[in-house]
A = this chain, B = another copy of it.
Amino acid sequence: MSSIPKSTKAWTVHGANGFDSLKLNEQVPVPEVSDYEVLVKFHAASLNYRDLIIPKGLYPFALADDVVPGSDGAGEVISVGSKVTRFKPGAKVVTLFNQGHLGGSLNPQTYATGLGGVIDGTLRQYGTFNENGLVDMPPSLNWHEASTLSCAALTAWNGLYGLKPVKPGDVVLTQGTGGVSIFALQFAKAAGAKVISTTSSAKKAEVLKKLGADEVINYKEFTEWGEKAKSLTAGGEGVDHIIEVGGSTTMEQSLKAIKIDGVISVIGFLGGNGEKEPSFLEALLKLCTVRGILVGNRIQFEEMNRAIEINKIKPVVDEKVFSLDELKEAYQYMWDQKHFGKLTIKIE
């Protein structure tokens, strides 16, 4: 266990002037833990698209002033408050995105507990958290792998298990090679589903197949990939679960691929301009279910971690790793879409 320095590094976000809004603070005092809190020494964090748009002023939700950014992080519990029961010093932990989302659905209160938005996040050396806002890290993962679970993995898990749990024999469709999509592919394969993945290049198709995709459709070749995907299901009945990350253009195809009573999980903020978006009446015509999701709750997180552990699932992490000091460069690298898999930050 590390000894605790008196003062430590933490990034904060000031305004909305792009990545220059990020400021590295070098002399931040390490907060004391109160009764139900634990002090975490972070070892790694991972970035999400949401992190990038916060300093760019494009994030449409509430933000605290000068918030410490970053929702995803993995670290070690250094000390615990007098009434803490969930963790002991030395425990390896991962952060929960919505700190108050302990089970069931979000509500107006817990909706406003996002790390790195309204609550200080993970892009710092040390942080204190209510013991309820952390989960045990799957022992088989390293810090970097574990740091990717908070948002991307849990969103994928919620899509596959939050409404109608995937069963062996179901068909799952994933789009592209973003973090959520790759986790969805991995979870669906672990669950005995058939996975159809879309992508734009032969090279990425190879990676998707290595990760287990049964079928890969190049959506540049098959612009009508919805019909194509449907034709790849037994009896042409369609896809049971679609993890919809793209927005209006992909949604149109997803509606062609989906099975009766199939579920399209809509996530992320990548959507289009709204002009050509399919209307809700399509759900009637296709007799399918469309569900909007925002990450997931702690019970789901713990269930997911059991699945990761038992199935030896390894999060796909970009080989390029940035140090905490290089955070702005990391943001730019990800903004330029140079990454494959989750981009992580090493925190020493």
Contacts and interface: CB of A to CB of B under 8 A. Distances in A.
A168 B191 contact: yes
B299 A292 contact: no
Given A266-B283, A280-B277, A311-B169, A236 B108 contact: yes
B309 A234 contact: yes
Contacts of A64: none
A282 B291 CA distance: 10
A288 B34 CA distance: 36
A305 B170 CA distance: 11
A53 interface: no
A124 interface: no
Interface of A: 34-37, 83, 85-86, 100, 102-109, 111, 130, 132, 161, 163, 165, 167-171, 187, 190-194, 214, 234-237, 247-248, 251, 259-261, 264, 266-268, 271, 274, 277-294, 297-299, 303-311
A279 B234 CA distance: 30
A181 to B, nearest CB: 16
B303 A293 contact: no
A17 to B, nearest CB: 26
Given A167-B303, A169-B309, A278-B280, 19 more contacts: A104-B299, A105-B260, A106-B260, A165-B167, A168-B187, A168-B311, A169-B304, A169-B311, A192-B192, A192-B310, A234-B309, A248-B281, A266-B280, A266-B281, A271-B284, A279-B280, A280-B290, A283-B290, A283-B292
Contact of A108 (B237, B294, B298): B237
Contacts of A286: 292
21 contacts: A35-B35, A85-B100, A102-B102, A106-B261, A106-B287, A108-B235, A165-B165, A168-B191, A169-B307, A191-B192, A192-B192, A192-B307, A266-B284, A271-B284, A274-B279, A277-B279, A277-B281, A286-B292, A288-B291, A288-B292, A289-B290
Contacts of A299: 103-104
A165 B166 CA distance: 9
A181 B123 CA distance: 49
B190 A261 contact: no
- Among A106, A193, A274, find the residue whose CB has the most chain B CB atoms closer than 10 A: A193
Contacts of A271: 281, 284
Contact of A281 (B85, B109, B193, B274): B274
A85 B109 contact: yes
Contact of A130 (B83, B237, B259, B310): B83
